[in-house]
Amino acid sequence: MNSASWLSVHNSEAAPLDALPVLSQVEFRQEVLSEIDAGARLAAFFGVPQPDETCRLILVLADDRSGSLALTSIEAHESYPALTPDCPQAHWFEREIAEQWNIRPEGHPWLKPIRFQAASRPGQTIWPETNTADILPSVTTFFQVRGAEVHEVAVGPVHAGVIEPGHFRFQCHGEHVFHLEIALGYQHRGIENALVGGPHKRTIHYMETLAGDTSVGHATAYCQAIEALADSQVSARAQALRGIALELERLANHTGDLGALAGDVGYLPTASYCGRLRGDFLNMTALLCGSRFGRGFLRPGGVGFEVESERVAQLLTRLDSTINHVAGAVNLLWETPSIRARFDDIGALTKETCRDLGLVGPAARACGLARDVRHSLPSGIFRDVQLPVSTCETGDVFARAYVRWLEIRRSAAFVSKQLKELPAGPSRSDVGPLLPRHVVAALTEGWRGEICHVALTDEQGRFFAYKVVDPSFHNWMGLAMALRNQQISDFPLCNKSFNLSYCGHDL
Partner 1 sequence: MFKILKTRLQQGYRTSAYPAQAPVLPDRFRGRPVLDASKCVEECRACVEACPTDAIARTATGPRLDLGRCLFCTDCTQACPEEAIRFTQDHRLAVRARQDLVMDGDTLRLARALDDSARRLFGRSLNLRQVSAGGCNACEADVNVLNTVVFDLGRFGVQFVASPRHADGLLITGPVTRNMQFALRKTYDAVPAPKIVLAVGACAISGGPFIDHPEVHNGADSVVPVDLYIPGCPPHPFTILDGLLRLLGRIHDQQSSSS
β strands within 219-367, DSSP E: 298-299, 302-303
Does residue 194 interact with partner 1 by CB under 8 A?
Answer: yes
SS3 312: helix
Residue from the set 84, 117, 209, 235 that interacts with ligand SF4 by CB under 6 A? 209
CB atoms within 10 A of CB 229: 27
CB of 304 to partner 1, least distance (A): 9
CB of 189 to partner 1, least distance (A): 5
Task: Report how far residue 297's alpha carbon sits from residue 43's, in angstroms, rounded to the nearest whole number.
Answer: 26
Return the number of the residue (171 or 214) whose C-beta is nearest ligand SF4: 214
Task: Report how far residue 17's alpha carbon sits from residue 278's, in angstroms, rounded to the nearest whole number.
Answer: 43
Return the number of the residue (42 or 210) whose C-beta is nearest ligand SF4: 210
Return the number of the residue (80 or 267) whose C-beta is nearest partner 1: 267
Does residue 289 interact with partner 1 by CB under 8 A?
Answer: yes
> Which span sits near partner 1 by CB under 8 A: 41-49, 62-70, 88-96, 328-336?
328-336
- Category of 473 on φ-ψ map: left (φ > 0), alpha (ψ -120 to 50) or beta: alpha
Go through the chain and tell me how many residues it has.
507
**Cis previous bond, 157, omega within 30:** yes
Return the number of the residue (105 or 137) whose C-beta is nearest partner 1: 137
Does residue 472 interact with ligand SF4 by CB under 6 A?
Answer: no
SS3 120: coil
Q: Contact 395/348 with Cβ under 8 angstroms? A: yes
Instruction: Give the number of residues in contact with ligand SF4, rule: CB under 6 A.
Output: 2
SS3 426: coil
**Secondary structure element (H or E) that encloses residue 402, with its range:** helix 397-420
**Secondary structure element (H or E) that encloses residue 332, with its range:** helix 309-335
Task: Report how far residue 306's alpha carbon sits from residue 375's, in angstroms, rounded to the nearest whole number.
Answer: 28
CB of 338 to partner 1, least distance (A): 12
435 binds, among partner 1, ligand SF4, none (CB under 5 to 8 A by kind): none
264 binds, among ligand SF4, partner 1, none (CB under 5 to 8 A by kind): none
Site for partner 1 in 131-190 (CB under 8 A): 136-137, 157-158, 160-165, 185-190
Angle separating helix axes 309-335 and 397-420, nearest 10 degrees: 160
Q: Contact 94/358 with Cβ under 8 angstroms? A: no
CB of 189 to ligand SF4, least distance (A): 9
Task: Report how far residue 500's alpha carbon sits from residue 402's, in angstroms, rounded to the nearest whole number.
Answer: 17
CB of 163 to partner 1, least distance (A): 7
- Category of 302 on φ-ψ map: left (φ > 0), alpha (ψ -120 to 50) or beta: left
Site for partner 1 in 109-128 (CB under 8 A): 115-117
CB of 201 to ligand SF4, least distance (A): 8
Return the number of the residue (212 or 492) whose C-beta is nearest ligand SF4: 212
Residues near partner 1 (CB under 8 A) are: 115-117, 136-137, 157-158, 160-165, 185-191, 193-194, 201-202, 205-206, 208-213, 215, 269, 272-273, 275-276, 279, 283, 286-293, 295-296, 305, 325, 328-329, 332, 335, 501-503
List of residues contacting ligand SF4 (CB under 6 A):
209, 212
